Amino acid sequence: MPALLTGPASAADPIKIGVLSDLSGSLSDYSGPTCIIAAQMAAEDFGGTVLGRPIQIISADHQNKADVGAGIARQWFDVEGVGAIADLPNSSVALAVQHLAADRGKITLLCGPASGQLMNEGCSKTGFLWVLDTYSNTVGPARILMDQGKTTWFLIVADYAYGHQMRADLTRSVERAGGRVLGSAQHPTASPDFSSFLLQAQGSGAQVIGLLNAGSDTINCVKQANEFGITSHQKLFLPGAVISDIHALGLEQAKGLLLMTGFYWDRNDESRLWGQRFFQRSKRMPGQIQAGVYSSVLHYLRGIAKAGSDDGRVVAETMRATRVNDVFVSDGEIRPDGRLIHDFYTVEVKSPKESARPWDYYKLTGHIAGGDAMQPLSETRCPYLKS
């Protein structure tokens, strides 16, 4: 149900922001209902109103289906007056919604999806890619792991846009650094059995197995890798994993996993304070997707206030021209292709003995500056930038 955040009494229509997510499927813990909470927190922290109008957060479940997501977005844009849609995990859904939004001059705040197409072939002058993408989550980590002597890889790939793009980007990154991808195996989403794919990876002898999937697929894949004893001899790299995945696995099963993240709740005093506020409402700590939704919604509202208008095209220009400062990023820049530049961190999951308290899961193994993590603009395939 919609959550109305009321400020001073006003007869004006509300500023509506939609959180379109997977609320019941394989990505529902990755983003899902907790991203609605993050958006609500952003609206409340902004003050509940903008331009004298109340801020309203509405939500819906796209069920990981592009046609369902597009239908909801069309209803929101054309009938209900929604000005921006946030989150959008599942790249095929995000691409469909971003296309609709671009045609209508509406804003997309992409936090959950990771396909590089969203800022390349599918880019939009009113679209923003806030958290991760297949380039940022492969190039830097591959370089760090290669420097540590981990030069041979096997990839287990989800059969959808994110997985395909991640395989292409990671393969290119490994080979450019002098390593080798010994093989790959592709699996359907929501697969209950990864044994054949894991046995291929184990048999390859690769030093690193990249799990290019997300949500429950990642969790099940790691559990089954432990059952086969793979994790005692080969490192698992999970570029799409988030902290809730580690919580679901437990440290005994997750220890030693290698991850890439743009946010950790225990990074500094500000993130710890915000993380505790989030925990009080959701009973779990936030990951990078939740922090990204909070940040993007807050920046959108600041853009409306600064522009003095809720016109999507005007607000988008204002957002690009304004630095991003909040718990997610300090002095962040938004590039012409809509990509937010922020730092990333490679982390290794702690063992139970190394963890001092609940949700104390990560130890830092590397830092990648935002400018080094992102696809260079010189390589863009975004039509409006190339023209």
Q: What is the pLDDT of residues 220-241, one digit of tens each?
A: 999 999 999 999 899 999 988 9
Average confidence (pLDDT) over 374-386:
93
- Give residue 12's pLDDT: 80
- Give residue 186's pLDDT: 95
- Give residue 162's pLDDT: 81
Structure tokens at 11: 């007869």
Distances in Å between the Cα of 177 and the Cα atoms of 142, 168, 309, 311 are: 8, 14, 47, 45
Does the structure show a pLDDT above 50 at 11? no
83, 105 in Cβ contact below 8 A?
no
Q: What confidence tier does 51 reach under pLDDT thresholds 50, 70, 90?
A: very high
- Residue found under tokens 């208008």: 309
Average confidence (pLDDT) over 253-268:
94
Q: What are the structural domains, with CATH classification, of the chain?
A: 3-133+268-342 (3.40.50.2300), 139-262+343-373 (3.40.50.2300)
Does the structure show a pLDDT above 90 at 338? yes
Q: What confidence tier does 6 reach under pLDDT thresholds 50, 70, 90?
A: very low
| Beta pairing, strands 344-349 & 340-341 | unpaired
303, 309 in Cβ contact below 8 A?
no
Q: Dihedral of CA 101/107/112/117: which sign? A: positive
| pLDDT tens digits, one per residue of 84-103 | 999 999 999 999 999 999 99
Torsions phi, psi for 369 (to 5 deg): -60, 145
Does the structure show a pLDDT above 70 at 9? no
Does the structure show a pLDDT above 80 at 269? yes
Q: Which residues pair with 260 in a beta bridge?
A: 346
Q: Which residues pair with 185 in a beta bridge?
A: 156
Q: Which residue has the higher pLDDT, 269 or 161?
A: 269
Angstrom distance (rounded) from CA 280 to CA 263: 19
Structure tokens at 136: 């940022």
Identity (one letter) of the amino acid at 72? I
Does the structure show a pLDDT above 70 at 341? yes
Can you give the pTM of this predicted structure? 0.91
Half-sphere exposure for 224 (CA within 13 Å, toward CB): 19
Mean pLDDT over all residues of the chain?
93
- Residue found under tokens 């500056």: 369
φ/ψ region of 283 (left if φ > 0, alpha if ψ in -120 to 50, else beta) reads left
